[in-house]
Amino acid sequence: MSAAPVLALRDVVFRRNGQEILHGVDLTVRAGERWALLGPNGAGKSTILGFCGAQTHPTSGTVDVLGHRLGRVELQELRRGIGHVNPRHPVRSAITAREVVLTGLTGTIELPLRWSPGPEQLARADALLADVGLEARREAAWPTMSQGERGRALIARALAAEPRLLLLDEPTTGLDVAAREQFLETLDALARAEPDLTTILVTHHLEELPETTTHAVVIARGSVVAAGPVGAVVTTGTISRAFEHPIEVVHAEGRWSARARRTAPGSPTARGSGPATGSGSSNGRIGVNG
């Protein structure tokens, strides 16, 4: 028997300022799966993530998140079951790493006035910081932390409320190679420690996929190019079609990489490139424009 759906989009249409942005969206994500949402810049990945995070309502169709249908549920309560890691998290004061994690319990950016964490909450924040390798940096002020440290602190923050769904919106933005690798190691360790946690990671760089990724959906030009188990989706043909350029994809020792494929003069830029048709999609159609 398959795991229960954590996310289900059915025939979703989304319009903004009179323009249809998404049309005919069908996508199912089940408990314990670790998805990558891939595609070129402007393909609509952030729009789709808005549905996943209960931040955006469809114009028509249905979106079910954690078993609750958008439009029929109190959103603040629903969002407590969703963790969000955004490298553009707008902390503006010199709060500490521990305080950043505690804001995951309050659902705020800064610690609320007249709110004090209890001993159990402090212990949980410290344990989460230790889990992401920041035990020695728990009193570090946000402005003094590196981008890599901030990213790991944001994972701990997202986990503070014990979410069932974790969203990662281009989480390695701004990281150097070493910090990126440390961050991906943290995600792999999290997958092993929390096997029931469902994750969706948005990126357009294959090198940023953790080894523990189980599924992927690739979108381009308003359609799903492919969706399903990651090994069947992240391929040379699929990525070349999505990015409309001959890209050779290599999977070695659990990690993916991509580079431009050389073509002979006068040959097509990519066999099978051009507008995506949606063929090969195993579980959905997504229309994206923008």
The CATH number of residue 217's host domain is 3.40.50.300
The per-residue pLDDT for 280 is 40
34 domain-assigned: yes
What range does the domain containing 62 cover?
5-81+164-233+283-288
Contact between 41 and 18 (Cβ < 8 Å) = no
Mean predicted confidence (pLDDT) in 132-137: 92
Indicate whether 265 belongs to any domain.
Answer: no
Residue 266: inside a domain: no
Alpha-carbon gap, residue 73 to 180, rounded angstroms = 37
> For 58-191, where are the E strands, in sequence order?
60-65, 68-69, 82-85, 165-169
Least confident among 2-11, 189-198, 276-285: 276-285
**Of the residues 136, 162, 188, which one is the last residue of a structural domain?**
162
User: Which of 142, 162, 182 lies at the terminal end of a domain, its last residue?
Assistant: 162
pLDDT at 270 over 60: no
The pLDDT tens digits for 213-256 are: 999 998 877 677 889 999 999 999 999 999 999 999 999 999 99
Mark whether 42 and 142 lie in a shared domain.
Answer: no
Q: Tell how many helices (H) and how many strands (E) occur in the chain.
A: 8, 13
Would you give the DSSP letter of residue 99?
Answer: H
Beta pairing, strands 34-38 & 5-16? unpaired
Q: If you average pLDDT over every residue of the chain, what do you get? A: 85
Q: What is the pTM of this model?
A: 0.84
Q: Does residue 153 sit in the same domain as residue 16?
A: no
Q: Does residue 124 sit in the same domain as residue 11?
A: no
CA pair distance 121, 124, nearest whole angstrom = 5
User: 215 in a domain, yes or no?
Assistant: yes
Contact present, 103 and 109 (Cβ < 8 Å)? yes
Q: Are 15 and 25 in contact (CB under 8 A)?
A: no
> Does the structure show a pLDDT above 90 at 269?
no
| Domain count of the fold of the chain | 2
| Residue 267 maps to a domain | no
Same domain for 23 and 155, yes or no, is no
Whole-number Å distance between alpha carbons of 220 and 258: 17
Distance of CA 203 to CAs 36, 170, 218, 285, Å? 7, 5, 10, 19
For 82, phi then psi, to 5°, come to -125, 120
- The pLDDT confidence band at residue 266, using thresholds 50, 70 and 90, is low
Q: Is 255 inside any structural domain?
A: no
